[in-house]
A and B are shown apart, each in its own frame.
Chain A
Amino acid sequence: MKKLFFFIYIAIFVFVVAVACKKNILNPNDPVTISMWHNYGGIMQNSMDELIEEFNSGLGKEKGIIVNVDLVESSANIQKNIMATLNKEVGSLPFPNITTCYPNTAISLKNSDVLVDLKEYFNDSDLDEYVKSYIDEGIIDDGLYVFPVAKSTEVLFLNKTLFDRFIASANITEYDLSTFEGLNVLAAQYYAWTDSLTEGVTNDGKAFYMPDSIFNVMQVGMAQYNDSIFVDEQINDESENYKYIYDTLFDAYDLGYISSYAGYSSDLQKTGDLIASIGSTAGILYYGDTITYKNNTKESVDYEIYPYPVFNNSAKVAIQRGNGMSVIKSDLKHEYASAEFLKWFTRKENNIRFVIETGYFPVKKDSYDSLIDDSLILNSENENIIKLQEVAISMNREYSFYIPPVFDSFDSLSRNFKNDFYLALE
């Protein structure tokens, strides 16, 4: 018995020493530099740069951490760079300490034992502060490998100026923007109206709206009917719900009511070639306050933002999007420092500042309340972002969120569906 107590005592002692050592890993007189790759470039880059500088000169200086951004690219190219490094391709860069990462990329990294399980640095009460579904999205085999820093969903962006002009001209008094069926009705009316504007030319009406990802609509639509688009990692195309959703969309596409443009719907919005878009909230900055016509004349426009549409008689479900940040295995010092940065970056005050400048959603539960209760939402200089955050908060309360599953063939299934869909339209 005495021996047992002795060993327990030793174990506790070692644990306490280990924890104490972990806490004292960093030395402000000999700071550790952590490298980062992220995809918050372009118009968001200043916001990100400013936050990183603030960290480096504040908590980072205090603890002995310097964050250095080595690479800023689109999320797709970041994933390409990561895979190039993982596969040791010629010319690939060395891994950074932290990188933005999608869950499906994280699986490959985790399977190659390259990623840090962030549960080693965040205990249960730390993680409780975050929106649960955001944390769940980054869990692979019980470990937390993709840490949420900024999330997004999809919403309906409506060019209110052009829409009001249309419904006034077409004498439309009732309409429904909350359902796909309602949108299709409006789309048919818009097509007919625009067709009528070109005298002597028929069937040249314009598309009314467009979702950026048809596959996302399919996934979310099925989730709205409490069904799953995947069965055994294959498309569940035998489901009645699937057929209904598919037909509802396909018919509208086929008739030209929905645009089949290969790029982002915001591109078409810029020239007034589309009235409504269903796209990521992270694209809010692409919606300006003017549109430009082909003769280079401009018109000031207002946008309205609406919650993600639902299919008739279905539940309010929207997709949960946005990548997170993963920490690459290196040494205790760098891993610990990386975790400290993630904690700081997702602190309510810092996270809120980032989201009101970029249009992303905050990741902590109390941040949503603060956006409204503390009127922080009004701190944004962008009217559209204020509108977006208001919608985000209401969706956060009323919607449940669908997280796309992660498996190896997901990307190819998505790609093939899209190709087949558009091919069928030709």
Chain B
Amino acid sequence: MKKINGILKIRRTLQFRLFLLIVSFSFSIFLVILIVLFSTQSLDLKSKNLSSSLENDFSHVESKIKYDMDYYSIKSRKLAEDLETKIENYFDKKSINVSELPNSGDEIENILFELYDTLNLNLELSTASGTFVVLNSSVNYNASTDDRYRAGMCLSSIASGNSSLINGDIRYLIGPTDVARSNGITILPQWELEFDITNGSFYETPHDMYDETNDKDFYWSEKIIIPDSSDEFIFCSVPMSSSDNFFLGCAGFMINSNLFKYSYSVSNDEINDLFLCLSPYNSDKIDIIEGMSAGNYSVLANIPEDLTYIKKYNGFDEYGCNEKRYLAIADDFELYNDTSVYKDVYKWKLILSTDKSNIESIIQEQNMILIITIIPILMAFIASSYLLSKKYLKPVKRALNIIKTDGDYDKDKTNILEIDDLMEFLAEKDRHKEIVIPNSNISTSKRFGDFLKDINTLSKAERAVFDLYAAGHTAKEIEKILFLSANTIKTHNKRIYMKLGVSSYKELMVYLQIMRENNYISYK
């Protein structure tokens, strides 16, 4: 900074101006590229990327679950039809009215013997976790006021995963032990003789609906935990009736939580700790605890009991449970077809979710990476601008320095045409200035004597140039006279200086002046 006319002004150097120019230009290009990339969505925002990725995963698993659930629903209906026919045939054979079923505690074991093969075969030929039949009867039907038990049978497959065997190990979960023992099927540790129908809606809901409407639609229950175990199932339950519409019970297929977990767990390369839930929902609240979940063990151990919708958030649906927040992709899941009596009554949601902090930390991480990437680029721009400007101006500075210090214009060439021309012009101008000879008797000095002697060491070509200098011609004129290039003249000059022991053109001119004054040179 300098004071000019009393005002403090910033004096910018040429290099600084050039530096600013290059930096501005580079930043502009960079900005334009970023704008183009963002506007053409080539450089998506990270959260949008994540939500798209999760939507893809969701869509894939949703169609898989839909296919399977539809399959089990249809199979459950068929199973119930087969079983109700068998029950009715049994009573026909016994010449007992099938409406006597509730009072036929003594016949139950025989009935279930009849039904076992159908239940077993259906389970063997499917990938479901179990098949069941619950009868409108009990061994204690008339004996007790405790109306919670119903006779029946439940077979469970312990296989999980993609067995190549269609008859994955089948175990006996509920029913008379004699049926199991006769058929050589192992009884599970959590075996019960009869169903406790208060432990879930798999019996009462289809029973009530049948009584009300005579409708035999399949019904998917909420998650039911088998007592004294950690086994969890959802039941697809279809009412059974006789040909005269007497309610006989329910039957269908079951899906357990392990099968759901193994079949439908979603893993995403970028988002950890995902969990997928198929759960009943009401208004905006999803009852996670009542549905099936898939995910890794540590996540499932901590999933919320329910989720309530809050708002849209960066392409995700944000849900909350107490203070915790989750980001998810969710959709209504159509378990029932349009004609089902349950369609508008029991709604289900499929939701793929993770803790909100997981997504936020990914975005933050990506932003950090972006910042960490951009900063060095910007630093590189600045550094390269500085270096470029410095390198570009180096010859200019050198030339200016020579001029300032009255250096030898011929000696330091920049190889930049304009600057070298300027330097030569100045050099020529310098040459034509009157050479002031110091007032000393230089003509008689030993040095001058050597100079004169050394003239004879010049080559023919060098002597030609020397003579023309002596005659008062400029370098440019000599080029034209001798038909030589500027570089050739420069080369001759260098050799002339070297041989004659002079350091510069100026010094040569001084000696030539002396020669003229002392009549050592005659002009031709």
Give 13 A-B contacts (CB < 8 Å), ordered by A residue.
A46-B230, A54-B297, A54-B298, A57-B298, A69-B160, A73-B169, A84-B164, A93-B163, A93-B164, A263-B184, A267-B181, A292-B192, A296-B149
Q: Is B229 an interface residue (CB 8 A)?
A: yes
Cβ-neighbour of B189 out of A37, A43, A74, A262 (below 8 A): A43
Task: Using known A-B contacts A46-B230, A77-B168, determine if residue A72 contacts B160 with beta carbons closer than 8 Å.
Answer: yes
Whether A56 lies near B181 (C-beta < 8 A) is no
B478 CB, min distance to chain A CBs, angstroms: 73
Kindly state the separation between the CA atoms of A53 and B300 in the bound complex, as whole angstroms: 11
Task: Using known A-B contacts A70-B161, A71-B161, A74-B158, determine if residue A296 contacts B194 with beta carbons closer than 8 Å.
Answer: yes
Task: Please give me the residue from chain A that is nearest to B272 by CB atom.
Answer: A57
A358 CB, min distance to chain B CBs, angstroms: 12
Cβ-neighbour of B163 out of A81, A270, A287 (below 8 A): A81
Whether A74 lies near B162 (C-beta < 8 A) is no
Q: Is A271 an interface residue (CB 8 A)?
A: yes
Q: Is B488 an interface residue (CB 8 A)?
A: no
A interface residues (Cβ-Cβ under 8 A, vs B)? 37, 41-43, 45-46, 49-50, 52-54, 56-57, 69-74, 76-77, 80-81, 84-85, 89, 91-93, 261-264, 266-268, 270-271, 285-288, 292, 294-296
Whether B297 lies near A53 (C-beta < 8 A) is yes
Which A residues are CB-close (under 8 A) to B190?
43, 288
Kindly state the separation between the CA atoms of A49 and B138 in the bound complex, as whole angstroms: 37
Which B residues are CB-close (under 8 A) to A295?
139-140, 143
Whether A271 lies near B163 (C-beta < 8 A) is no
Whether B164 lies near A270 (C-beta < 8 A) is no
Interface centre among A42, A46, A262 (most CB of B within 10 A): A42
Q: Is B354 an interface residue (CB 8 A)?
A: no
Q: Is B33 an interface residue (CB 8 A)?
A: no
Whether B158 lies near A73 (C-beta < 8 A) is yes
Whether B189 lies near A286 (C-beta < 8 A) is yes
Task: Please give me the residue from chain B that is nearest to A51 by CB atom.
Answer: B297
Which A residues are CB-close (under 8 A) to B192?
292
Task: Please give me the residue from chain B that is nearest to A269 by CB atom.
Answer: B187
Q: Is B47 an interface residue (CB 8 A)?
A: no
Kindly state the separation between the CA atoms of A219 and B171 in the bound complex, as whole angstroms: 29
Kindly state the separation between the CA atoms of A41 and B171 in the bound complex, as whole angstroms: 12
Which A residues are CB-close (under 8 A) to B143?
295
Which A residues are CB-close (under 8 A) to B181?
261-263, 267-268
B298 CB, min distance to chain A CBs, angstroms: 5
Which B residues are CB-close (under 8 A) to A267?
177, 180-181, 186-187
Q: Is B205 an interface residue (CB 8 A)?
A: no
Task: Using known A-B contacts A43-B229, A270-B191, A292-B192, determine if residue A77 contacts B159 with beta carbons closer than 8 Å.
Answer: yes
Whether A73 lies near B139 (C-beta < 8 A) is no
Kindly state the separation between the CA atoms of A74 and B159 in the bound complex, as whole angstroms: 7
B31 CB, min distance to chain A CBs, angstroms: 34
Give 12 A-B pairs besides A262-B184, A271-B177, A292-B193 with Cβ atoms closer than 8 angstroms. Answer: A42-B189, A50-B297, A53-B298, A69-B160, A71-B161, A71-B163, A72-B160, A73-B158, A73-B159, A92-B164, A285-B189, A294-B139
Which A residues are CB-close (under 8 A) to B187?
263-264, 266-267, 270, 286
A415 CB, min distance to chain B CBs, angstroms: 15
Q: Is B176 an interface residue (CB 8 A)?
A: yes
Kindly state the separation between the CA atoms of A370 and B82 in the bound complex, as whole angstroms: 56
A39 CB, min distance to chain B CBs, angstroms: 9
Interface centre among A52, A89, A263, A285 (most CB of B within 10 A): A263
Kindly state the separation between the CA atoms of A50 and B268 in the bound complex, as whole angstroms: 21
Whether B164 lies near A72 (C-beta < 8 A) is no
Q: Is B21 an interface residue (CB 8 A)?
A: no
Task: Please give me the residue from chain A that is nearest to B297 by CB atom.
Answer: A53
Which A residues are CB-close (under 8 A) to B185?
263
Whether A42 lies near B162 (C-beta < 8 A) is no
Task: Please give me the residue from chain B that is nearest to A71 by CB atom.
Answer: B161
**0/1 per residue, B160-204, Cβ < 8 Å to A?**
111111001101000011001100111111111110000000000
Which B residues are CB-close (under 8 A) to A54?
297-298
Which A residues are CB-close (under 8 A) to B149?
296
